[in-house]
Each structure stands twice: as structure tokens, then as C-alpha cells.
Structure 1
Amino acid sequence: MKYNKLAIALAVSVAMGAAHAQQKDNQQQEKNEFEQIVVTGTPGGTAVRKVDASYAITNLSAETMTKLAPKSTAELFVAVPGVWAESSGGVAGANVFVRGMPGGGDAPFLTVQLEGAPVFQPPTLSFLENSSLFRMDETVSFMEALRGGPNPVISNGQPGLTTNFMLKEGTAGTEGTVKYTTSDYDLQRLDAVISGELGNDFYYMIGGYVKSSPGIRDAGFTSEKGHQFTINLTKELDNGKINLYTRITDDHGVWYLPTPLVSGVDAGYTQIGTMNRQATIQYGPDGTTQNIDLGEGRGWDGSISGGKINLELGNGWTFTDRFNLTKGDADTLGLVPDGNPVALSSVADNGESAVGVASGDTYSGSTLVQQIGRWVVRKEIESFTNDLAFSKQLDALKMTFGMYASSYSANDWWSIGNQSYHVIAQGGENLTGIDCNDNADSCGWNYDINSTGDGRTRAFYAAFEYDVTDQLTLDLGVRRENHVIQYSVDEGLDGAIDKTVDYDEDSTSWTVGGNYALTDNSGIFVRINNGSKMPYFDDFRDNYGNYQNGNDLVFDVKQSEIGYKLAGSNYSLYATAFFNEVESSNTLVPGAPAELTVNEATGLEIDANYVFESGLNINMNATIQDTEITESSSGNQGNEAQRQPGWQVRITPSYDIELDNGGYLTLYGTIASVDDRWSDNGNTVVLDGYTKIDAGVNWEMTSNFNLRVSVDNLTDKLGLTEGDPRNPAAPNGRYILPRSVRLSVGYNF
């Protein structure tokens, strides 16, 4: 593992956000680290001081998230220690890695919650991970990110990372925000939110956005467009509170894929354009054809509706119920590179030239071309989740008993492959005069499926917390889960069912922790847990042989942590050392056999913040980790885990200036450095480390009017997030997003 290239820097940035009074509230919140409250990770969602929590958790306020200026939800996760997030693929479909846990793509160890309930029970299905189902806007109040800790026992039993997004709620006074955002890539976006009181102790919050743009990597057409609407109703009761919400989203963007690493191709390059977005694919044994528009890209067209009930029942009893219904389509269409760039003369029928299908232009033999797959994945999902808990306080002992239930389904139709040679150019067109292109059955491979899957997860959990002394608290949690999957696959789209699954298995997870308060604002904690990575639909398809041979496909995840916490009125330090051992599987190409692995990871996470009286605030978060594949069915034991940096560090300074007219000017920024990573488990290709700088300024011109400018990737750094996941030896890679500038103008009332 390499640590010699560690680069730390600072930068400046800016955000848009609150009015004058709100700005003061944000500054006070940043200074009052000692009293920060978290709700994620506690049985029943009971609030606890962050400094008293016996696990590692990061919380981001609305203002902090605005400063990050995320272009996708996954971009927020870069601010969480222990997490490596690759959000270079566009508005959806990020790759998220947690604490060295194995994975080749998507986010198998990430769960996204809304108001404490998972947005979808499976953390990852092929071409779908949880963050793709959630869009950021002005209706979000804050986010909490819990790593390890009690995760294996609560919620959906996710042993890795759980991120919980909380919505804004109405108050007695009517208030709101209207914000317009544009950019140097012609983003047009309008956000609005309003909240207030409907009646006696009955409040509302309504908000959303509409947007469009050709994309940061200009596709030559409106490649990113969408809208979202959210309503959150809150009723305050004498003995508690009830929330009901619905969130309707239709948001899509072009799927950015790895590009050929050749001269003339940079971070602004994308395969898709007006000359190739419309295509014809063939599938099934009879070569059925279908016209498609690859400009649909990747996204989410659906809704998440649910609620939360918190009640004090008397005699020390409390009741909590969190539930939601998620339903919609999460399709993926895109142009996927396959193999090396080659000279046209080596594949043209006449050995000299070929003709563009769209333009009719003749391309010479020296033109670089590449096989590009036209991939179509249709995915219809639905889930209902309910998590209820009863808690009882008995002097020094608190007991919680809960039941978690989720039913979910995914219906898939795929035709992936459909290769054809395209010109290597921005939106390079398809060619005729190449046998492979003109006779589809002579070129490459296709993997076509039609599948239906239904699942049910039922779990009972119990948690106990005991105050041994005023300083020492011990806790114990246990979860017993039943996992049922019914799944069938027609591979080849020939009408015959090739694989069927009727699965019913149980697993037990547990966690034990202790917290010792050194002072009122500092302490240490230790924790061990044992959880499970449960199988979902794609796991059975890729591991069908293992399933047929009696393997239950339940993978163990063992973790241990020790942490130190210090929080004062203007500073905080959270440091957590971790060790984990994780069983998992990984498939390079859909339909191919999976590699079974056991990974070990040891690391240290640091999250520190200091606020100076002068108005300067400095935050640093860093992760150092060492990973090793200790067992591998593909002979990769002894190697490091793919796509996992040995270290990464982010330093984020901000500086507040009070202006003579009563306004505020805030300068802020981030310098993020990341180590080299291996592109694959075979450790054959190195992705070089890089340093990226973001910057911005927020000007509170009046008590109501504000302006924000933010610059992402200020120096236009050409860093790579991944190579070619299907063919590691091929010279393809996906760049981080190029430099972009955003301007926002907001009015608060």
C-alpha cells in the first residue's frame, strides 16, 4: 500500500443558502459541536448527542451539503470518512466503496434511507444502487452517515454504510426559498420550497425542482432533464409526532462510460451524441429488432411515499414506526466501450475506408474506431418497508424490541452487447462497410434476459443499553432475519426459463459496544459486530451453480472498531480505527461466473473541525486503510482490493466576513487528494492518484437575497475513477468530471 504521495492542501469555496438570520444560525451550529444530535443508528431513532454515540457517524447540515454543490446524491458521500465514492458516471449509477469492503461496481455496502426507512431493501441490483433513487434539493434538512456500528442489527441489516436523509418540516411561521441556478454548461434549474402551518399544530412543507442541461460532458442535446416534487406533513401530538410524506421524481441523464485513453480524448468526452443516440438493436434467437433512443440515459421515474410515527405511551414506553412505499422504473441505456481502439483499416471490408451511417461521410483507414455496445436495461421495481419498535426505560436500562418487514420486487428486461464499430470522436457515429457492423450476428456477444424477482425480508431485533456508571455505558443488539427470494430468468429471450430460485434462509447478526465518557465532551468507544450480506436476485443468477450445489450465499461480515471523540464549543475530533473481514462475490461481465472472495481491511478514519473567532472554519476528514484479498476463487489472494485507495484526505476551509451593510460574504473550498488504486482484483492496472480543488463564494447581499458561485475541479484535473471493468487490460478509463462553474441566485422569505 502506498502512502508516500499524500498531498494536503486548502482551497476556497462558496455556497448559497440562508438569509442573514439563517446565516447566523448556521455559524452558531458549526461552533456548537458539543451539542450536535444524531438519530441514525439508535434503536427506534432516539436522539443522542453525537459525542455520546458509541459508533462512527457523520452528519451534514443543509448548508454544508449546499457548499458541496453535488451533481448527484453520491457526490455527498465524499465528505464521509471511510467512504470512496465514484460519481463520474452522471446523475445516477455511482460506485460507492466502504472501509475496504469488496466490490467491483454499484454500491453493495450502501443503504440510503429517507426519514429512517430504506428507499429500497436491496442495496444493489445490477445497474441499480440506492443513491440512484434519491435526488437532492432544497427540501432536505440534513444527512447522517453511519459506518459499521449497530448497522447489522437495525433497519435492513446493512453492515457497511447507511445514509439517512431527513426532510425539512413546517413551523408556525410561513417561510420559503426560491432559487435559480445556471452554469457554464447551460444548466437551467429552478428550486422552490415553502413551509408553514395548516392548522393547530399541523404543519406542511412543499418543494421541488425542475431542471435541464446538455450535461457537463456536452452530448449536443438536452441530455439531463428532470423534476421532483415533495410534500411533508407534520402533526404534533400531546404525546408525540406523526409525519407523512411523498416524493415524486422523474430525473434522467446520459450514462457516462469509460473512454479510450488516446490523444484527443479528455474528461469532456462522451461517446453519445446526435449522430448515434438513435440505434437499432437485435435480441433473442430470431434476431428481433427494436429501435431505441440511447439519450434516455440512466435515471429514476418513480415515487417514494411514507411516514414516521413517534409516540410516548407512558410508564417509560415509547413507540416508533417508520414505513415507505417505493415504486417506479430505473432504466439504463448507454454506449459501452468494448476492447481496444483500432485503426479503421484493420476492420474495414475494403481495408481502406468506411462510411458514416448518419452523415454519409467517408472515413480514411487511419481513423481510430472502437467497438461500442448499445446496452438497454429496463428495470421496474417496487418495495414496501415497515420498521416498528417499542422501547422501555427502566432506570439505568433501556430495552428496545423491534420488527422489520420488507417486501420487494424487480422485473428486468435486458439486451446488452449489440456491439458495432464507432468513430472515436465526440458523439462519434456508427459505420457501414464493416462486416461486424452490417451483420450483427458476426460481432461480439449479446446477453439478453427477461427476469422476474420477488423477495421478502422479516427480522426481529432487540437492543439493550445499560448505564453501568455515569461514565460507562454498555450496549448489546441482536437480529434474527428470515430472507425469502423467488426468482426466474429467461436467458436468451427464447421464452424458456433457464434458472429458477426458491430460497428461504435465516441469519443472525449481533453487535456489542461500550462507551466511556472521559469528560462531558470527550470519550472513547469500542465495538464488535457480526453481520451478513444477504443474496438478492442478481446474486443467484451469477452464482447459480453455487446455489444449485447447496451454497446458501449468505456472506459473513465481521467488524471491530475503537474510536475517540472530542467536541467543544468551537472544535471537534472524531477518530475511528477499524478492522473488517468480509465474504463477497463479484462478476466482471453480467452472466459470467462470479469470483468469490474474502477481504480483510484495517484502517483509520479522522474527522476534525475547528472554528476560529476570526470567522475561519477548517474541516478535515481523512482515511488511511490497508486491504488484502485473503481468499479468491480466481487466484487473486494476496492482492489489494480493487478500486480502493490506500489513503484519501479532504481539507475544507471557509471564511465568513461580516459586511458593513449587515450582509455576509463566505469564501470556502476543498482540496481533496487520493492515493493510487488498482483497477481490478488481479492488480494488473494502476489508477494514478490525484488532487482535486473546488472553490466558491456565497454573498448574503440582504436579509433575503443571496448569490452563490461554485467551481468544481478548479484546475480541470484529469483523474481516473475506474478503468475498463469488463476488460482490465483494455486502455479505457472514466475521468472525473471536468471543471464546471455554477451560479445560483436565491430569495428567502
Structure 2
Amino acid sequence: MLRSAVFMLGVAPLALIANAAHAQTSDIAAPSQDESIQDDSVQNDEIIVVGTAGGGTRRQDAAFAVTTLSEEAIDRAAPNSTADILRTVPGVMAESSGGQNGANIFVRGYPSGGDAQFVTFQYAGVPVFPPSTLSFLENSQLIRLDETVERIEAVRGGTGSLFSNGQPGLTVNVVPRTGGSRLEAFGKVSYTDFGEIRGDGWVSGPLSEDTGFMVGGYYAQGNGIRDPQFRAEQGGQITANIHHDFGNRGSVEIYARYLNDKGQWLLPIPVISTGGEISAYPGFDAGIGTLAGRETQLTTNIVGRTVDLAEGRGADVINTGISFDYEVVDGLRVRERLSYLGGNANTIGLVPVAAPGSAAAMAVTLGGAGSAVSSLAYANGGGTVTGGANAQVMRAGIWEVRKKISSFVSDSALEWTSGSNKLTGGFYFANYTSFDAWTLGNQVLLTAEPNARLLNMTLNGGRIATLRGFTGGPAFQVRAHYEGTDYAFYAVDEFQITPELRIDGGARWQRHVVDATLRTPLAGGNVDLDGNPATLYDNSVTVLGGPRQIEYSDSAWSWTAGINYDFSSSVGIFARYSRGNSFPQFDNLREASAVNIADKTGLAATAEVETFEGGLKVSTPFVSLYATAFHNKFDGLATTSLINNVPTSSNGGAKATGVELEGIVRPFDGFSVTASGTYLDATYRDFFTANGTIDNTGNRVQRQPRWTWRVTPAYELDLGAVKPALFATLQYTGDRFSDPENLQVLPNFYQLDAGVSVEIADRFTLAVTGNNLTDEIGLTEGNPRIIGGQGSGAILARPILGRSFRFSAAVKF
């Protein structure tokens, strides 16, 4: 706070000088060319916060690509996870096939290997956790959508690199419900055809004339649509806030959220690939099958560590914060937004290694050339395995990743408005930590079937390949304490030159500092635990090396400039240039060499992103259309992937050109058709994988299709006390490549969702929603833990979830 105040006193005179010199800085303003019209009316007066200096702006005045999703739009999308709602945002490829957690989210051709490297989630305008992605942790894992959410705002590119944590990709703001002058309450119970039960509710109302409260949340439990034969999905969230208005001067809001929820980490399963066509692996339902089962739920590995897969992937965190906005004197406002998050975000999963094959082939894999199966039996009773050496088997690792995390964020700003000019200066500070304990590898031998059973194998020569089903021990381990600190100064200005023409611009300087103490496997330090070469399962177990330090710092400038022109109240255009940065985070620095950290190359590089974008908006009571064209250039990108349990680097550049379209047609009362689509041409430039050995220049950026689109017709009837509604969504996802080498093809697919709801007496609502009604086998991931193709026949891939239905009953009073 003191640092912020000192900055404000210093920056105000400089900002006024800059204003006098006609510096064009941007708080964000100008009609959005890429807004999502999710409601049945054009809400020109709706205020958005994301992508602004903090005071918010009208959607119609936002000079950047922004999508807003109302409470009704969220309900109709019936998302399976927080990340799943982003399927409705143009320019975003969201893969939620990993379950409630572990999403992969890609934006506008920004290259990354997975997770959500260029996506930041905010709650009430403040980043939930400043690093957008750490290994085994992306932002959507730390927040859940429930009935306490009023709406969602999502800005792509544009001004994102100027505000918040400086995210140049996608920034998603979850806006909470707050209490008003009337006491209200809501409750909902839902049940799925795969056995999940969930309860949602909230209550809100006044505490005094100018003060309101809201408290609510949810609790859910079930085994999940991919049933592992144990309680895999369980937990809930509770949210509370108090909001006070200072008349016309401003407001203050205090909030707290507690999330304790976990779910099965869904990973690739066996499927059959034949000439580009995908079908189910024999005996394995692609929509509901999972490798995990009773036998793999609780295991004790060869070093005596017991792991429970029921812990899954999730978060046990508390997030508290305050938002303060006050007009000190006419034209001068002060803003402060604070947030604290702390808790645990763990990942426990059964990670497959390779597609199924014969036990005979597995014997060679485990024992080397000339090895043969001597015996193959179930590890937990049941005798020998039918088929012997010809039985289909596979391996999977039991991975355990534990993270204890914390973050503190402060965003302070002064805003000065004079006539048609608004100038803002601000200071951003974030401190965040992660205590990591990883144990990867721990591979087990399994039957190639759903809810797979553990196997024991012995080889010729009396060699023992397994212990309690384990073929190996820990293969990659990490023990680390990371601390990151970011601080940034930003200044933005917007100037309404004429009623039709506005210009804006801004700049941000950010400093990124990381300190860490960590231990990773000792090079060449693998040991044979029992000294017996005939017990193959423990002949090569990793040993942690001594502690080493990381001290890293770098700084960079970001800036943006935009122009907006309104031809009329319903037609406008805009153009914008922005330059942003993405600093290397903990995992990149862990794998970078000391030389790279010193000269800031490779994994230690700060990525630079340039974006050129422009668009058109047409907004009438009957038709709304928003179109944005963009071109991105990337340099210094860096990611790490685990290939055969070894961190492997990818780094270089890329370019992307695309068009985003969205709109709505309302031909007559009650009926609407909402549509959106994205064309994307994204390719690598001087981009190398496999630690710099494979040049992928010219290849398409992985996991992002050239074409995606979705169409949602909806029809509502008003029959007095009864108001039925029908809605459906058809979504198309084009061909993609799972890998940057473009050797693992993910074929195009369609997904059909639909639902019906009936509102009774403006108080009761009954609804049924169906997901993936055609039970499509749509792949979102191949095998990310190998380099190269998988060939034809049995492969590993992660399909979307199979057909499911949710039934709900709600009451509001």
C-alpha cells in the first residue's frame, strides 16, 4: 500500500505532462467488435470490468475483443467444468476432456504444449493466482462456476497485456452476485444419469440502506461419467461477500471463497485409428471408459509410498479480497483491489505410457531383446491371465504431484477525468509461492481393459519384472520451494476527440523476479534398490541430487494503442496494436541451464507477443454481428513436456492470422439463433522441440484447428404462468495435430448438446440438458508423452465425454 501511494504521488505529475503532450494511453474504450451477444436483447449499458483500468466501461465502448456470458447463457451452455464454458468464446480452443480439472486452453494460435499458458482467471477483477500455468496447475483448477456467479467476461488480446497480471492472451473475469435492497434466495438440486448429485444455493439481501450481502455455494458428489468404481468426484465451494455503496462516490466490496473439490484426472485411453477414422478399442467404451479401477485406487509402490487415486486432481484453497473505488474529489478517483489465495492444489493420476500390446512384446520392453514371458498372473488374486504371452497389456504410471500455493495481489490506481479525457496511473504488485513435491513414474502393468487389473510378470531366466504390479519406481522427482514477485507500473489515457472518434493508448513496465531452492534427480545417479539384477522392477530408481538455487529477474515493456469510430449508434469499427510479454515461470527456470538463466535464452527467455487487430460491429434489435480480424507474432516462446518421464524443452516462435465471428439473429419474439466461428492459420517459426533437435518451422501450431464454429437456436414461449424454452447447440471442431511435429492427427468432429426448461410462476424451474447426444468420439489429445506418431491400430488418445443427461429443479423466492 505504501509503495502504491508513493507511486501515485510520483506518477500523477508525469501523467499530466504526458497528457499535455498528447500521449495517447488507454484505459480501454471504444466499441467492441467482438462481443458475444448471449442475451435476447442488446445490452448497450452493460458495464464490463475485464480489460479496463478498474472502473469498467460499457460493452459498446470497449475497443477490444470481449465476450460476456450472462447467467442464462452459462446455464444453457451446461459446462462440465470451469474451462468448458470457454468453448463459447471465439478464438479459444478449450479442452475439458480431462475432467473438472486439468484443462488445456489455447488462444488465437498462441503456441503451448498444454494446460493454459496464456489464460488468466480473475475473480471480482483480481487474478486468482498470478502465474497462468505451472506444471500440473492452471487457473481454472482454482475456481468453480456455481449459482453465485452473475456473469463472465473474457477479453482476448487487446488491452490484456496492460492490466491485471499483464496477460497478452485471454483474461477471464468471473463476476460475483451481490446483495441488493430485497431479501432473495435460490436453491437448486440436480442429478445426472451417471449418478452425480449436486445442490446449489444462495441467499442475498440488505444489511442496511447502502449495504448488501450474499452467501452461497454448492456441494456435489459422484463417481463421474468415467466410473473408476470409487467415489472420484466430491467437494464444494462456499462464497460470501458484503457490498457497500458510498452514494454516487463509489463502493467497497469484501469477499471470501473457500473451495474444496476434487475429481478424477482423466487421461488418454486406448482407441483404434484406421485411416484417419477413430473407433472404440474392443471392450473399451470411448465415452465412459477409464483405466482406473478398484485395484489401482490404493497402491503401495516399490519404495513403500502408498497413493490413493481417489484424491484425484483439485484444490483446497481459500481466496479472499477487497475492491475499493472512491471519488475523492470531482474528477479524481482512487481504486484499490487486493486478493489473497492460499491452500493446496494436488494432482494424483494414472498416466498411461503407450498403447496396448501383447504380453510378449511387453516382456521385451521390460527385459530387453530375447526376453520371453515365463508367467503372467493377476497381482491381487485370480490366477494366471488367459492368453498368456498373447494377452493384451499396457503400462501406466501412478503420478503424485503435491503443491502448497499462496499468492497476494495488489492493484492500486488513480484516475483523473477532465472533460473528454480520462487518465489513469497504477501500480501492480504480486507475490506468489509454490512448495512442490513430485513423484512421477511408478509404472504398473495392467490389463488393457476398463477398470484395469494389476498384473505380475516373470521372465525367462527367473527374472522378476514386477512387484505388486509395479514395473518400476520413481522416475522423475522434484522437491522445490519457489517464490515469484512481480511489480508493474502502468499508465493509460483515452481521449474522445469527437462524439464519433476516440483514441486510446497505454504502457506498462513490469519486473519479474523468481527465487527458488530445489532438488531434482541426480544425473546418472539411478540405483538398484536391492542390488539384485534379477529383480527388474527396482534396478533403476532415481535419486534426488543436492539442493540448488535459482535467482532470476527480468523486466519488459508492454504497450497498446487503439482507435474507434462510430458511424452511428449501431455501427462502428476499431483498430488496435498491442505488444505484450510472457515471463518464464517456475518450471521453465527449473529446466533451464545456468547459462540460459544468465543470458535469458531458451527456457529462460521472456516471450514477446505482437497483435494487430481490427473489427466491425453491427448491433440492432433484430441482428447483431461482431467480426474481428487479427494477426499475432510470437518470439521467445518456451515450454517443457515430460517425454518418457524426462523434461523436454520446446522453444522458438510462431505466427497466426485469424478471423472471429459471432452474432445473433432474432427474427421474431421468443426465437433466436446465436452463432460464432473462428478461422485460424497458425504456424511455427524457428520453433524447435526435443531439446532443440527437431525443427518444426512451417508446421501448424499443435491442438488448434483451422476451423471451429457453433450454432445455438433457442425458442422461448410465454404461456402466462408457464414459460417453456428449448435450446440446442451444434459445435464443429476441425482437424488438428496433437503434437508440434504434426505426426499425431486429431480428426474433426461434431458435438450436439440440447436442453429444455420450464419456468413456472416466475419461481420454479425444471430443466433437462443433454451433452454429446450423438455419443461422438471426438479426440482432444493424442499421446503427449511421446515424440512422433502413433501409427494405426491401437493408439492412446483422450476423447470428449460420452452422452450424458442432467436433470434439475430450482426454486427462487
TM-score by length of 2: 0.86
Structure 1 match to 2:466: 437
CA contact (8 A) 1:488 1:497 kept: no
3-state DSSP of counterpart to 1:737? coil
Letter in structure 2 aligned against 1:85: A
3-state DSSP of counterpart to 2:465? helix
CA distance in 2, matches of 1:705, 1:549: 63
CA distance in 2, matches of 1:347, 1:714: 38
Q: Report the alpha carbon displacement of residue 235 of structure 1 after superposing the two structures with TM.
A: 0.9
Structure 2 match to 1:566: 618
Q: 1:748 and 2:806 equivalent?
A: no
3-state DSSP of counterpart to 1:150? coil
CA distance in 2, matches of 1:668, 1:450: 50
Map 1:96-111 onto structure 2 (within 5 A). 96-111=105-120
CA distance in 1, matches of 2:547, 2:355: 33
Structure 1 match to 2:585: 536
Q: Report the alpha carbon displacement of residue 544 of structure 1 after superposing the two structures with TM.
A: 2.9
Letter in structure 2 aligned against 1:252: K
Structure 1 match to 2:640: 587
**Which of 391, 401, 404 is the matching residue for 2:415?**
391
Q: 1:534 to 1:337 in 2, by over 3 A?
A: same
* Deviation per residue, 1:40-99 (Å, 9 max, x gap): 112123222x22211000000011001111111000000000000000001101000000
Letter in structure 2 aligned against 1:197: P
Q: 1:495 to 1:686 in 2, by over 3 A?
A: closer
Q: Report the alpha carbon displacement of residue 683 of structure 1 after superposing the two structures with TM.
A: 0.6
Structure 1 match to 2:800: 736
* Deviation per residue, 1:558-604 (Å, 9 max, x gap): 11101111212343211100100113112231652411120100000
Structure 1 match to 2:571: 522
Map 1:688-699 onto structure 2 (within 5 A). 688-699=747-758
Q: 1:679 and 2:738 equivalent?
A: yes
Q: Report the alpha carbon displacement of residue 241 of structure 1 after superposing the two structures with TM.
A: 0.7
**Which of 336, 361, 382 is the matching residue for 1:360?**
382
Instruction: Select between 534-543 and 157-166 the one with higher mean Cα deviation.
Output: 534-543
**Which of 88, 94, 107 is the matching residue for 2:97?**
88
Q: Report the alpha carbon displacement of residue 362 of structure 1 after superposing the two structures with TM.
A: 2.2
* Deviation per residue, 1:344-394 (Å, 9 max, x gap): 244468626522123434212232111110100001100000111111111
Structure 1 match to 2:192: 183
Structure 2 match to 1:713: 772
Q: 1:210 to 1:347 in 2, by over 3 A?
A: same
Instruction: Select between 542-551 and 722-731 the one with higher mean Cα deviation.
Output: 542-551
CA contact (8 A) 2:204 2:212 kept: yes
3-state DSSP of counterpart to 1:51? helix
CA contact (8 A) 1:53 1:515 kept: no
Structure 1 match to 2:497: 468
CA distance in 2, matches of 1:697, 1:276: 39
Letter in structure 1 aligned against 2:573: I
Q: Report the alpha carbon displacement of residue 29 of structure 1 after superposing the two structures with TM.
A: 5.3
Q: Report the alpha carbon displacement of residue 546 of structure 1 after superposing the two structures with TM.
A: 5.4
3-state DSSP of counterpart to 1:362? coil
Q: Report the alpha carbon displacement of residue 612 of structure 1 after superposing the two structures with TM.
A: 2.9
Map 1:159-308 onto structure 2 (within 5 A). 159-238=168-247, 239-261=249-271, 262-265=281-284, 266-282=286-302, 288-308=303-323
CA distance in 2, matches of 1:76, 1:461: 31
CA contact (8 A) 2:38 2:70 kept: no
Q: 1:575 and 2:599 equivalent?
A: no
Q: Report the alpha carbon displacement of residue 171 of structure 1 after superposing the two structures with TM.
A: 0.8
3-state DSSP of counterpart to 1:159? coil
Letter in structure 2 aligned against 1:678: F
* Deviation per residue, 1:225-267 (Å, 9 max, x gap): 0011100111111321110010001100111100122322222
CA distance in 2, matches of 1:530, 1:221: 48
Higher RCO by CA contacts (8 Å cutoff, separation 6 or greater): 1
Q: Report the alpha carbon displacement of residue 424 of structure 1 after superposing the two structures with TM.
A: 1.2
Q: 1:600 to 1:444 in 2, by over 3 A?
A: farther
CA distance in 2, matches of 1:718, 1:28: 28
- Count of residue pairs the alignment pairs up: 716
3-state DSSP of counterpart to 2:802? coil
Structure 2 match to 1:631: 686
CA distance in 2, matches of 1:253, 1:573: 38
Structure 2 match to 1:480: 509
CA distance in 2, matches of 1:527, 1:358: 63
CA distance in 1, matches of 2:620, 2:709: 23
Structure 2 match to 1:7: none
CA distance in 2, matches of 1:474, 1:688: 44
Q: Report the alpha carbon displacement of residue 315 of structure 1 after superposing the two structures with TM.
A: 2.6
Q: Report the alpha carbon displacement of residue 639 of structure 1 after superposing the two structures with TM.
A: 0.6
Structure 2 match to 1:47: 57
CA distance in 1, matches of 2:169, 2:202: 33
Q: 1:406 and 2:430 equivalent?
A: yes
Which runs of 4 or more aligned residues in structure 1 lie more than 3 Å from their structure 2 counterparts after TM superposition? 33-37, 345-350, 439-445, 493-499
Structure 2 match to 1:343: 358
Letter in structure 2 aligned against 1:47: T
Structure 2 match to 1:9: none
CA distance in 2, matches of 1:636, 1:31: 46
Q: 1:233 to 1:570 in 2, by over 3 A?
A: farther
TM-score by length of 1: 0.93
CA distance in 1, matches of 2:548, 2:565: 52
Structure 2 match to 1:501: 550
Q: 1:640 and 2:700 equivalent?
A: yes
Q: Report the alpha carbon displacement of residue 406 of structure 1 after superposing the two structures with TM.
A: 0.4
Q: Report the alpha carbon displacement of residue 702 of structure 1 after superposing the two structures with TM.
A: 2.5
CA distance in 1, matches of 2:57, 2:744: 46
CA contact (8 A) 2:716 2:723 kept: yes
CA distance in 2, matches of 1:350, 1:598: 46
Structure 2 match to 1:6: none
* Deviation per residue, 1:381-426 (Å, 9 max, x gap): 0000011111111112110000100000001000011112111111
Let me know the Cα RMSD of the aligned residues: 1.8
Letter in structure 2 aligned against 1:136: L
3-state DSSP of counterpart to 1:641? coil
Letter in structure 2 aligned against 1:455: G
* Deviation per residue, 1:149-175 (Å, 9 max, x gap): 011111100000000001001011111
Letter in structure 1 aligned against 2:40: E
* Deviation per residue, 1:435-457 (Å, 9 max, x gap): 33239996487101101100110
Structure 2 match to 1:459: 488
Q: Report the alpha carbon displacement of residue 704 of structure 1 after superposing the two structures with TM.
A: 1.2
CA distance in 2, matches of 1:63, 1:398: 34
Instruction: Select between 110-119 and 492-501 the one with higher mean Cα deviation.
Output: 492-501
CA distance in 2, matches of 1:93, 1:160: 19
Q: 1:504 to 1:346 in 2, by over 3 A?
A: closer
**Which of 157, 162, 166 is the matching residue for 2:166?**
157
Identity of aligned residues (%): 36
Structure 2 match to 1:602: 657
In structure 2, the gaps of 5 or more residues are 1-36, 272-280, 364-370, 459-463, 522-541, 689-693
Q: Report the alpha carbon displacement of residue 115 of structure 1 after superposing the two structures with TM.
A: 0.3
3-state DSSP of counterpart to 1:154? coil
Structure 2 match to 1:19: none
Structure 2 match to 1:129: 138
CA distance in 1, matches of 2:564, 2:646: 46
CA contact (8 A) 1:604 1:625 kept: yes
CA distance in 1, matches of 2:500, 2:372: 82
Letter in structure 2 aligned against 1:662: A
Letter in structure 1 aligned against 2:515: Q
